């Protein structure tokens, strides 16, 4: 089965050798063996927060509400669902692995019973990632890029599932850079650090075609640095991995628009359209339908654009 984002359902096909997610992985998670995410097309990842303290205010505190929220994302056109049980905002209270598993596994199993879409587990804990893959998840989304718990890279390698490696400058991640850092130097340094994440993942046995990169907007960067990254994703395309855009409802949008988190839709859509034009392939969002329509319109115009004569 190859996942077709345009049809929102699996389609029968002859999968290319070596491209199947999870060859040699968990036998009882058939989705690891049957689902390929087509990253050649723009894919929308709908966020399912199973947290009471999500920065975006959309956290679901019950399994039933979280499952319903995920199904609504699918109805609106999501290609992937990203399920997370621990808030990643800087002042969030850390969870134990057991508490995180208790939150996310019932949601993953509930959604897996009702959809064949790729399910991503948003975690930095190796044991949570393992449990999620056992329950039916097919992608690992680690906001620490494997730096916090390197074992998570070995879990991804064992299952040969896609892993999203996010650049992070918070404590425990890469060193912070001051606002005075020249923009080009800032981008070049971050690109080098992303390459370091890729190299480490490859050394742990993760296939290159299973690596997805996120520049980490909002993770240990200043307002100006976040704005710079949101405007320059094409700088990182040469790394050779699909780029995930994770800007939805984030604080730098609120700073530009002087808007609370509940009023950042327009700003989030603007960043998505900019990212689309700069080569981003996966869009992790809270507002699936609005993003899907904005991207469809952007791509339609982009397809017929003619460069002016010199």
* Distinct helix (H) and strand (E) counts, the chain: 10, 10
Reply yes or no on whether 250 is catalytic.
Answer: yes
- Annotated active-site residue 158? The verdict is no
> Of 169, 264, 284, 292, which is the active-site residue?
284
Distance CA(250)–CA(226), nearest Å, equals 10
Q: Annotated catalytic residue: which of 169, 250, 264, 292?
A: 250
Listed by start position, the domains of the chain span 40-300
Report the alpha-carbon distance of residue 199 to residue 193 in Å, rounded: 10
Q: pTM of the predicted model, to two decimals?
A: 0.87
Each residue's pLDDT tens digit, 216-259: 999 999 999 999 999 999 999 999 999 999 999 999 999 999 99
**Residues 152-200: tens digit of each pLDDT:** 999 999 999 999 999 999 887 899 999 999 999 999 999 999 999 999 9
> From CA 223, how far away is CA 251, in angstroms rounded?
8
CATH architecture of 40-300: Alpha-Beta Barrel (3.20)
């Amino acid at each position: 089965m190859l996942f077709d984002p345009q049809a929102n359902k699996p389609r029968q096909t002859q999968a290319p050798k070596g491209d199947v997610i999870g060859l040699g992985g968990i036998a009882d998670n058939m989705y690891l063996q049957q689902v390929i995410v087509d990253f050649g097309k723009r894919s929308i990842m709908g966020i399912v927060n199973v947290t009471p303290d999500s920065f975006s205010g959309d956290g679901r505190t019950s399994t039933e509400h979280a499952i319903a929220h995920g199904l609504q994302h699918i109805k609106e056109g999501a290609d992937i669902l990203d399920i997370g049980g621990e808030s990643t905002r800087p002042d969030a209270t850390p969870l134990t692995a057991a508490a995180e598993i208790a939150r996310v596994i019932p949601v993953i199993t509930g959604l897996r019973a009702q959809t064949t879409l790729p399910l991503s587990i948003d975690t930095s804990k190796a044991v949570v990632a393992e449990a999620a893959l056992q329950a039916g998840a097919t992608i690992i989304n680690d906001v620490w890029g494997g730096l916090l718990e390197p074992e998570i890279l070995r879990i991804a390698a064992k299952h040969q599932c896609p892993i999203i490696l996010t650049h992070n400058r918070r404590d425990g991640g890469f060193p912070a850079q001051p606002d005075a850092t020249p923009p080009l130097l800032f981008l070049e340094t971050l690109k080098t650090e992303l390459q370091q994440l890729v190299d480490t993942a490859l050394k742990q046995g993760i296939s290159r075609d299973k690596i997805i990169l996120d520049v980490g907007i909002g993770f240990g960067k200043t307002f100006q640095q976040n704005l710079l990254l949101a405007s320059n994703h094409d700088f990182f395309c040469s790394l050779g991995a699909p780029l995930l855009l994770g800007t939805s409802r984030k604080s730098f949008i609120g700073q530009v628009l002087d808007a609370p988190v509940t009023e950042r839709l327009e700003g989030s859509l603007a960043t998505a359209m900019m990212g689309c034009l700069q080569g981003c392939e996966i869009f992790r969002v809270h507002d699936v339908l609005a993003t899907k329509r904005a991207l469809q319109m952007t791509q339609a115009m982009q397809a017929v654009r003619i460069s002016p004569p010199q």
